[in-house]
Amino acid sequence: MREMIPVLKARGAKLDAISLLLTKTPPALLGILFTKVIFAKGSLPRLFVEYNNSKAGFAVAEVVREAIKLGIPLPRLTRAVENTEYHKAIENPKLP
C-alpha cells in the first residue's frame, strides 16, 4: 500500500481515512489486526476472500503498469508482479 501512494496521487486520487490508516500503522500491528479481527474465522471479509474467483494480483499489476508509464519506481511491487503466473501469461502467451 505504501508503494502505491505516489501512483495514486499521480493519477489524481485523494487518500481517504482507510488509506492513511493502512500507510501510517506499523505492519506488525496491521498483521495482528487483520488476522485476529478483520479476517477472523467466520467473518464476512474472510468469506469474500475465500470464495473470490477473480485473478489474483490484477489490481496490483495495473498499478505497476501505470507506475512504469509515469516513471515512478516501485521495486518491491514490480518484483512481486513479475513472479506471478498472471504476469508470465501476459508476457509469454501460449501460441497454438
What residue segments make up the domains of the chain, in order of their start? 5-91
pLDDT of residue 33: 86
How far is 91 from 72, CA to CA, in rounded Å?
A: 21
Identify which of 83, 79, 67, 75 has the alpha carbon closest to the alpha carbon of residue 5: 67
**For residue 43, which phi and psi values (nearest 5 degrees)?**
-80, 155
| Nearest CA among 60, 46, 82 for reference residue 3 | 60
User: What is the per-residue pLDDT across 2-29, written as a single tens digit (0 to 9) for each?
Assistant: 777 888 888 888 888 888 888 888 989 9
63: which residues sit within 8 A by CB, 6+ positions away?
Answer: 4, 7, 8, 74, 77
Quote the pLDDT of residue 93: 54
Mean pLDDT, residues 37-58: 76
pTM over 0.75: no
